[in-house]
Every structure is written in C-alpha cells, then in structure tokens.
A and B are shown apart, each in its own frame.
Chain A
Amino acid sequence: MEVHHPTSLPDALRAVAAGATPLAGGTDLMVEINFGHALPDHVVGLRRVEELNSWEDSRIGAGVTWRRIDEKGPTALAEAARTVGSPQIRNAGTIGGNVATASPAGDGLPFLAAVDASIELVSPTSTRHLLWSDFFVGVKQTAKAPDELIVAIQLPERLPSRQAFGKVGSRNAMVIATVGCVVTRDDDGKTTVALGSVAPTPIRAFRAEEMISAETSPSESALFEFQRLVSEDVRPITDHRSTEEYRRHAAGVLARRLLERCLR
C-alpha cells in the first residue's frame, strides 16, 4: 500500500485524480479495511492539507472534525456532532468524511438537508457546488466524480433562527441512528424537516413542511398533523437495527417534538 502525505490542496487533488483513496479521520475507511471490504493500493492522507481544515463563516472545510463542530457549529449541527461515535471518534472523524461515506445514517446529514447545504467538489481542472439533494444519490452513493475531492461544505449565509436535532437509537450514546432528524423554523414560520436512516439518502418531508409553514402559531392538532405527514413521507426499511413500522412512527414523533422545541 502506497500512502501519500500532501501538504497542499493541489498535491492532494493530483493524488486523488491518480486514483488514491482519500483518508481523513479514517473512522469509516479503516473499518472497511479492517473488515477486508476495502483494500486500497494508494491512500492519500488529508490531515496535513491546511485548506481542508479551514472554517470560514458558512464554509466548513471538509477536514473539520466533529469535535470542532461540537464546540462552534450551528446549534443543530453541534447537537448532531455530540452524537457521533465516542469522544475518540469525534476527535478524528470529519464532516467531509460523513458526507463522502453518505451512509443513510450519517449523523451530520439531516442538518445539511434541512438548511439546503451544498457540497464543494474540486478536481485538478474544475470546481463545482452540488446541492445536497443532487449529491446524495443512493445508499453510500454520491454524485462525486472519481477525480473529485470534497473540499468544503457550504451552508447558507443566513441560517434559520430556530433549529433542533434529535436522534433515536437503542443506546444512550455511541449508537447508529435508528432515526435522525433536524427541524428548522425561521421567524417567518418557514419550517424545514430533514430525516436520516429512513430512506436511502437523507430526505426532506416537504408536505409536512408546507403544511406547518403556513401555521403562524400551530395548534396541537396541527402538530399532530405534522407528525402524521412526516411518518407518511419517510421510506424506511426493516433491518437488524429496527423495523420499518417503528422507524416510521419514531420519525413522526421525533419531528413533532423537535418542532415543539423550535416553537418554544
């Protein structure tokens, strides 16, 4: 196995374009290697590339760790950061890695969907920004080209004033999400709700958003209608972690509770 240690972005991009597998925190890739699911010949370590570790306002470098996001990220993203693995994992794992792996259960992804974040992809010859919904295309599948590297996550300049994150799992910490959810609500009532672990990619529940955004001060029955619409819009599966029925139920309950938090 050949390992590159570039210190500049152009060098890193050249390595990626030449076929090297990017390694940031290693919290996903090393697991794949240990299980024998991945055996890359070339690996490019990204930690020494300063550009990737930078975080300027709404542009979060792909190499920013969950630990740093926990400390200074926007409310709901910081809440999500606190549920990523254990402290050791949060010290190593990065937001770029979470996006690149594109697991349906990625803890950081519902926030990106809720605020309509873009993914900044750079190759030696081009730069493009893909909206999250164009980027995530399936279970652990993205629209990233083989010669591209995820360089940053671009959040909107202005984020909704109220945000809340929640994650259901069968353990109080260090657990893969059964359902992850972010709800945002702005001063004008515009509400978004994004969910993870209930579809092949992170998804938005647009019908629920539309219904509740129109309610300036939602009644109890509006809240439960919101819950019902969220439960209807998710597309969960049954697997070894949970059942379709429970995920559908929990998605609605969690979304309603997070909305209640936003409304307080």
Chain B
Amino acid sequence: MTVRTEQPSSRIDDGIGESALRPDGIAKLKGEFEYAQDQWVEGMLWGATTRSPHPHARILSIDVAPALAIGGVHAVLTADDVPGRASFGLEHPDQPVLAKEMVNFWGEPVAIVAAEDDATARRAAAAVVVEYERLEPLTDPEDADLRDEVFQRMRIRRGDQSASGSVVVEGFYEVGMQDQAPLGTEAGLAVPDGHGGVDLYATSQFVHADHEQVVASLGLRPEQVRAHPTGIGGAFGAREDVNLHIHLCLLALHTSQPVKMVYHRSESFTGHVHRHPARMWYRHEADEDGNLVRVRAKVLIDGGAYASTTAAVLANACYFAVGPYNCESVSVDGVGTRTNNPPCGAMRGFGAVQVCFAHEAQMDRLADALGMDPLELRRKNALESGDSMPTTGQVIETPLPTVEVIDSLAAMPIPEESERAGLPGGSGLTTEEHHVVRGIGYAVGIKNLGFSEGFDDFAQARVLLTPGGAIVETAAIEVGQGLVTILAQIVRSSMGVSSVEVRHVDTSKIDSAGSTSASRQTQMSGGATLEASSRLRARILEHFAGDDLNDEGVWRDGELVVPMSRVTEDKWEETVTFRHPPTSPPDGDGQGVVHADFALAAHRAVVDVDPELGLVTVVRVDTAQDVGKALNPQSVVGQIEGGIMQGVGLAIMEELILDHGVIRNPNFTDYLLPTILDAPDVEALLIEKEGSWGPFGAKGVGEPPTISSTAAVAAAIRNATGRAINRVPVRPQDIAL
C-alpha cells in the first residue's frame, strides 16, 4: 500500500493532513474496548424476539402463556402492549413495532420476551405459540411493479427526448442482494430511569432518529428518553433503521429493570435492512465520435416488505444512473417495489452502486461498438466542475476532477502477467497457471455527499476548553470509520491545542449530528467542529488581547501573556450547528439543485480467471479518488481498502439467496465475505482538489471506494473471458457454463 499525497506542513502534531492514530485503536486491538454487546449492569434481564417463520401470513392468534410459564421469564409483549405509535420507519412509519394482524416478511418480529438469562429468553421466545394462516408471498419485483405494489416511482426527463445517435448499445443488468454483514451484531441495553423514562444504549448510526421513533412508539415525552451513542463494530447502513431499540425500551419500562439484547448472527441477517437488489434496462446512444447523445434507463429496486429508505435509495439510483458523464438527453424511470422479501434500506453507496455496475458496463459496450479505448470514451464524456448533471441538470459548483482521476489511474503501473495473488480456487488446488486468463477492467463512479432533495441537513457540535485540554461533544456515531480521530485533528489544527478528547454524548445533551451515513460526518460534524473551535479560539484571543493560542496559553507578539492554567479558569464553550449549502426537492421531471456535493472514484481491477471452472481471483484493485483534502491519509486509505473489499465481495461472492422470501444463507458459512486470501492488493492515489465546503476542503470518502470497484471487477472478468457478465455477484456457473 502506498499513499501518494502532499503532506502539508503542520503547526501541531497530529493535526490536519497527518495520519494521527485512532484513540480507541489499542483498546480495540487488545479486546478492551466496550462494544454494545459487552454492556452489563447489575440485575439486568435479557431480551429475545419471536419472529415469523413465514414471509406472508395472517396472524390468527398469539398465545404467550407457554412462554410466561417458563421459570425466569419476566415479560412477554405483543403488538397490544405498544403504548404509542404502533409502527416506525426512517421516512414513513409503516413497519409495525410488533406484527399485529399480518406478517409481511420472513423473520418479522411478532413478540418480545425478557428473562433472567439469554438462553431462557430465547427458549421463551420459541415457546410463544402463534397461529398463522399462510398466504402466497409476492416475491418477484417485476410482478410487484405490474401490480403497482410500489413504494415510489421516480421520473427524470432532461433535454430533447427525441435525440438519437448513430451508435446504440442496449443491456439488461442485475445486482443481487448484498448484506452489510457488520461483525458486531445488533445489540443494546435499555435502563429505566425510575421516573417513567428510559436510557437506551444501542447500536446505531443516528441516535436522534432512534430517539424520535422510540418516543413516538412508547408514547413518552421527548425528554423522557435519552439515546446514547455506544461502541459499534461496523454499520455500513445497517444501523440507520430501528430494529431492537423500541423493543428494548418497551421491555425495560414494562419490567422496571434494565434489559439487554444481542442478536445472534443469523438473527442479525433478518434483523436489519439489506442492499436493494436491482434490475436495470439501459439504452445508450452516441455519435460516431463517441459523444453521448441520449441515455435511457429503467431502474427497478426491490424494497421488500417495508419502506425504510427505499424512496431515497431509488431517487439516488436514478440521479446517478448515467454516471459521471455529460449527456443532454436523458430519461430515467425508476420504481421501488413492495414485496414480501426482506426489507431493504441503506447500504454504503445507497443506490449508486447498483446503477454504476450498469452504466459502466454500458460504457464498455459503447466503447467496443465505437472501436474506442474505454478510458478515452470516459474522458471524452467526463462530467466536470461547471458541467450540468446529466439527470437533474444541476450545475456542479464544487471541484469534480473526473479527467484527472481517470488520467491518474491510467498512469498507475499495470502489474506484470507473472505477478500473481495466488491462483483461482485458492486452497482448493483446482487451478494451475496454464488454466488462467488475465483480465483488466476499469470503472468510474459518482455519488452525492450528505443529504439531498431539500432535507434540512445539519450537525451540531460543541467544543470546550478545559484545564484538561479541549473537548468535543457530539452525538455523531463512530462506527469504526474514524470520526473520533478526525474531529480531534480538526480541533488541534484550528485551535492550537494538542490534547483533545472527543465525547459521544446522548440526545439530551446536544442536538442532532445527523446520520453517520451518506459519507457525511467528516464534512458535517467536522464542519461544525471546525467552526466551533475557530470561534472559541477567536473569542479567547479577543478576551485576552492575544494573537496566538497553544498548549502553553495565549501569546502576543511572540510572548506568552496568559498561561493556559489562567485561560481555563474561565468556562469556554462554543456550540455550532452546521448546515451545508441548501438543496431543493426535484421538480416533476427530476430537475433541480438536489445535491450539496459530489465525489467520485475510478478503479482498475486486475483479475485472474479460470474460465473452465468459472473461478476468479482478484489480483489487485488500484484506485484514484477525489477526496477534496485528505484530513487523515491513513484513515482515507482504510476507507478505500475496506470499501474495495466490500465492492469485490459484491462482484464475486456476497449475496443473500432468497427462496420465496426466505433467506437461505443467513450465516457466515454461506454468506461469503472475502477472506484475506481473497483480498486484492490495493494502491490508492488521493486526488486533492480543494474547494468543497467541507472543513479544509475535505470531501466524504466512505462510499466512493464501494461504488465503482464492483463494476471494475466485473469489467475485468468480461475482459478475461469474453462473457457478457450482466449480473453481480458473478457466480462460477455464469462464467463456466
């Protein structure tokens, strides 16, 4: 791994642009870090969930008596015990807290139990007798579309709809259902406060959204519920929605005892939303020089049983359906269907991943039809700063160095044919060198940063200066991505104080930081932190008539005039609510300034394929990524390597297999994540073009690595085998048969 980036001179150690170490890194390595799963309080009970064994059924009766009869069981609750709003949901509260009359997906919660230990709670959950009348599940999303069982339709029309080009390529593409598969499963602890309220410590990406939904369903006043950030082992979108949060609070208030719940692995696979599977139909038309003249697409994503964020994912898929390319005549029709499949929602890339696989395959097909180099075609049509989004017409005002990203990637050395990363088949010894064909593929992907479509997107942060150093208070969630490091670096560089502690505080102590999603926290909570610490420094300097501040105190004309001990005799704190440039909802044709910022990345995948057996080894994935400004280069590379692994996973192995709505592989035996023997080498080039509104010009970096890496691997497999490869994950039979 090489990081090539300009290191700015820094006036303080571990400030902006340096690879400061994570404050929680050692504790995590040594197993001392407290994750949500590790929480424990005296006298706590354990919770468990009774789930539907059917994807679609009517509930005829629920008998909780057999569960209550088990020794050590303190409570068994059903839908009738939900005192407030009976349902929840991030955008539309359409999902029952506990199913009442119908179950609409396999694994839907029907009852919850609290007992003295985990095993008893699970036994009791299994002892709840639910009588079902099974109904035919609707599981084919194209059927759902025809029957108008949809959460959302999306229509984009831009430019002359009768435009046409002389070179035409069409294709159908499919993306399977990926899971976020965070290593930490859903877990939490709810503690009653003795006055009718409750403190919740649960896995989350967005405690204020949890808070709002818990308050609604428990019928409490907002101040009676405090949602606390806790230790999170990965998220990737799976923790944006409520799952066990309301259940835990219900059980805690009902029993007047703390209640803990930890999903087992298989339960986790049904307990959180997944990446939307997609079917996409495309037609690209270009002139003979390769200029895109017209792009038409239909994008179908399956939302499963409940809304979650399907509408937003669909909109995003449609907005980025053309990719980072100029085109003046575009139409996109999108549909997010409602079926009895497991609910789908947020996952890293949020709709852009699915369409990237399709638009990049189309660009390669077009290059082939034109007899043009695929990178040249992309350069020729590259969407840059000052251009208009092909879908929404929005003029891009922040830096978007598409050509530089493509050129930088193209200039990276291509490995020799003899450079191998093991053979396809790995330890299975299926394949020898003479069975292998090498392939190389490219892809470029683009996505928005932050929330869009007029959503009031804000983040609050508070910075304090105390005798022990500076403190940042935030409700932004650290899921492992490194915000805890970045916020401290921002304060060090902007305030001049080297000792900085980041405190994740609960919903009663600070306003929302928004979700840890949409690659947004570095820009949003980072923006709030920068403004707060800059203001605080200015106030301190003004108060003491100084011209500089550092660990020793306030300085004037090169002399220390007020020592830090005296500065911190006063109380210094500054709270800032940061908002990004405003966006607006789209008009009826999907037109408007709907996004606040954009980021892109390009990937080149090198694969070795055994065509006869259909086995693939990804040798390496190189990338150039538009990062604005790398606040912590090592952390950026961490996001890039992890994101590429997730992209490789979707390309060749990660898929939840459904059989009439039932997940057949809800476990790590059969839901295959890449192991270290499947991990490609990665070289990352960070392209820094300042000018974004993020702190120091930073852009979010979490999602772009996942967006085009999948498409690049698929392109490389096509290049090696000559097969069409219009579906990911690519299965051995898709190549060999």
Q: Point out residues on A near B: beta carbons under 8 Å.
A: 34-36, 79, 82-83, 164-178, 239-243, 245-246, 249-250, 253-254, 257
Contacts and interface: CB of A to CB of B under 8 A. Distances in A.
Nearest to A180: B428
Nearest to B672: A171
Given A168-B615, A170-B672, A171-B675, A242 B732 contact: yes
A239 B615 CA distance: 18
12 contacts: A34-B264, A167-B427, A171-B675, A172-B422, A173-B678, A240-B659, A240-B665, A245-B733, A246-B737, A249-B737, A250-B614, A253-B736
A63 to B, nearest CB: 24
7 closest cross-chain pairs (CB), A and B = A172-B426, A167-B428, A240-B664, A246-B733, A172-B677, A240-B657, A173-B677
Nearest to B424: A172
A254 B612 CA distance: 10
Given A34-B264, A246-B614, A254 B659 contact: no
Nearest to A171: B672
Tell me which of B422, B432, B613, B736 has the highest count of chain A C-beta atoms within 10 A of its own C-beta. Answer: B613
**Chain A interface, >50% SS class:** loop
Contacts of B126: 36
B613 A253 contact: yes
A241 B670 contact: yes
B565 interface: no
B176 to A, nearest CB: 12
B22 interface: no
B61 interface: no
Nearest to A178: B732
Contacts of A34: 264
A165 B733 CA distance: 21
B732 A35 contact: no
B10 interface: no
A168 B732 contact: yes
B617 interface: yes
B155 interface: no
Interface string B402-441: 0000000000000000000010111111101001000000
A171 B664 contact: no
Contacts of B425: 166-169, 172
Contacts of B665: 240
B603 interface: no
A246 B432 CA distance: 20
A171 B736 CA distance: 16
A202 B432 CA distance: 25
Interface in B272-324: none
A39 to B, nearest CB: 9
A173 B427 contact: yes
A83 B430 contact: no
A173 B426 contact: yes
B154 to A, nearest CB: 32
Given A177-B428, A246-B736, 4 more contacts: A173-B427, A240-B670, A246-B731, A253-B736
B656 to A, nearest CB: 10
A254 B122 CA distance: 44
Nearest to A85: B669
Contacts of B499: none
Contacts of A239: 664
Contacts of B422: 172
B428 A249 contact: no
Tell me which of A35, A82, A169, A242 has the highest count of chain B C-beta atoms within 10 A of its own C-beta. Answer: A169
B347 to A, nearest CB: 21
A168 B495 CA distance: 58
A82 B670 CA distance: 19
Tell me which of A164, A243, A245, A254 has the highest count of chain B C-beta atoms within 10 A of its own C-beta. Answer: A254
A173 B425 CA distance: 8
Contact of A168 (B266, B435, B613, B653): B613
A171 B653 contact: yes
A176 B669 contact: yes
A165 B615 contact: no
Contacts of B426: 171-173
A169 B674 CA distance: 12
B428 A166 contact: yes
A153 to B, nearest CB: 22
Nearest to B663: A240
Nearest to A31: B669
Contacts of B617: 172
Nearest to A254: B430
B652 A170 contact: yes
B732 A165 contact: no
A36 B652 contact: no
A94 B703 CA distance: 43
A89 B530 CA distance: 49
Tell me which of A170, A174, A177, A239 has the highest count of chain B C-beta atoms within 10 A of its own C-beta. Answer: A170
Contacts of B424: 172
Contacts of A175: 428, 672
A170 B612 CA distance: 14
B563 to A, nearest CB: 55
A172 B430 contact: no
Nearest to B668: A174
Nearest to B673: A171
Given A171-B678, A172-B427, A250 B670 contact: no
A105 B269 CA distance: 24
B612 A253 contact: yes
A170 B615 CA distance: 7
Interface string B577-619: 0000000000000000000000000000000000011110100
Nearest to A176: B669
Contacts of B664: 239-240
Contacts of B733: 242-243, 245-246, 249
A178 B427 CA distance: 14
Nearest to A34: B264
Given A172-B422, A240-B664, A241-B670, A167 B429 contact: yes
A166 B429 contact: yes
Nearest to A173: B677
A227 to B, nearest CB: 10
A257 B430 contact: yes
B678 A168 contact: no
A221 B539 CA distance: 87
Tell me which of B266, B427, B657, B736 has the highest count of chain A C-beta atoms within 10 A of its own C-beta. Answer: B427
A250 B429 contact: no
Contacts of B674: 171
Interface string B534-578: 000000000000000000000000000000000000000000000
A170 B613 contact: no
Nearest to A240: B664
Nearest to B264: A34
Contacts of A171: 426, 653, 672, 674-675, 677-678
A246 B429 contact: no
Contact of A172 (B432, B614, B675): B675
Contact of A35 (B266, B653, B659, B737): B266
Contacts of B652: 170
Contact of B430 (A166, A173, A245): A166
B737 A245 contact: yes
A245 B733 CA distance: 8
Tell me which of B266, B429, B613 has the highest count of chain A C-beta atoms within 10 A of its own C-beta. Answer: B429
A177 B427 CA distance: 11
A173 B675 contact: yes
Contacts of B732: 168, 170, 178, 242, 246, 250
Contact of A176 (B429, B612, B670, B675): B670
B657 to A, nearest CB: 4
Contacts of A36: 122, 126
Contacts of B669: 176
A254 B732 CA distance: 13
A83 B672 CA distance: 15
Interface in B467-503: none
B727 to A, nearest CB: 14
Nearest to A107: B428
Contacts of A240: 657, 659, 664-665, 670
